[in-house]
């Protein structure tokens, strides 16, 4: 009986280690090689980046003058890791997560004033969960829900004065609720 316990323990350890090894192999850091978007030897063919006719490995960078405005990690020709973008003045513009060429994880976009503009979540290159958008003022603009790339659940939109202009639910591709509200004519009582 005591001999069975160590065997079972080793079984569970080996399974959890295998899972960890598998998860680590999904995202690999690219080598510290920088390839400019202006380099004519760089091209994209059906979602795969090539540099000098080989699958690209490194960081694809874009500059405007001396300012770095984009940095995209690429491994074996596919976007892999956190892509970053900046405005010419240095403020963060976006942060996007990729795994083997697919959008996966959190994507954020900022306005030039530093205010967060969008927070999107992806799983296997499809929108998943709550997607949030803000006006440049910081007020909430949209809260949309997605399942496997399709709108599903509560969807809500506000104007910049925080007034609800859309409030509906999507269930199995059908819309329920107030789709839009427009005041076409004011009625004044005397």
- Express each pLDDT in 72-130 by its tens digit: 999 999 999 999 999 999 999 999 999 999 999 999 999 999 999 999 999 999 999 99
Contact present, 168 and 181 (Cβ < 8 Å): no
- pTM beyond cutoff 0.85: no
Phi-psi region of 83 (alpha: psi -120 to 50; beta: other; left: phi over 0): beta
Can you tell me the distance from the alpha carbon of 31 to that of 136, in angstroms, rounded to the nearest whole number?
A: 37
CA distances from 107 to 51, 60, 83, 111 (A): 26, 18, 9, 14
β-partners of residue 75 are 78
Domain boundaries, the chain: 28-103, 126-181
The distance from CA 36 to its chain's CA centroid, rounded to whole angstroms, is 23
Nearest to 74 by CA among 54, 101, 97: 101
Among 41-50, 75-84, 177-186, whose mean pLDDT is lowest? 177-186
The enclosing H or E element of 135 equals: none
């Amino acid at each position: 009986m005591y001999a069975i316990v160590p065997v079972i323990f080793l079984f569970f350890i080996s399974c959890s280690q295998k899972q960890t090894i598998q998860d680590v192999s999904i995202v690999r850091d690219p080598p510290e090689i920088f390839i400019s978007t202006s380099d004519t030897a760089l091209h994209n063919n059906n979602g795969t980046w090539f540099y000098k006719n080989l699958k690209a490995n490194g960081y694809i960078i874009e500059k405007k003058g001396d300012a770095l405005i984009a940095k995209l990690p690429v491994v074996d020709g596919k976007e892999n890791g956190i892509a970053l973008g900046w405005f010419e003045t240095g403020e963060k513009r976006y942060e996007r997560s990729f795994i083997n060429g697919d959008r996966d994880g959190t994507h954020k976009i900022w306005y030039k004033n530093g205010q967060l503009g969008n927070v999107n979540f992806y799983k296997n290159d499809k929108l998943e969960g709550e997607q949030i958008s803000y006006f440049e003022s910081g007020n909430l603009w949209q809260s949309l829900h997605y399942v496997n790339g399709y709108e599903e659940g509560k969807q809500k939109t506000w104007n910049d004065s925080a007034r609800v202009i859309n409030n509906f639910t999507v269930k199995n591709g059908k819309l329920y609720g107030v789709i839009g509200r427009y005041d076409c004519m004011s009625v004044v009582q005397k």
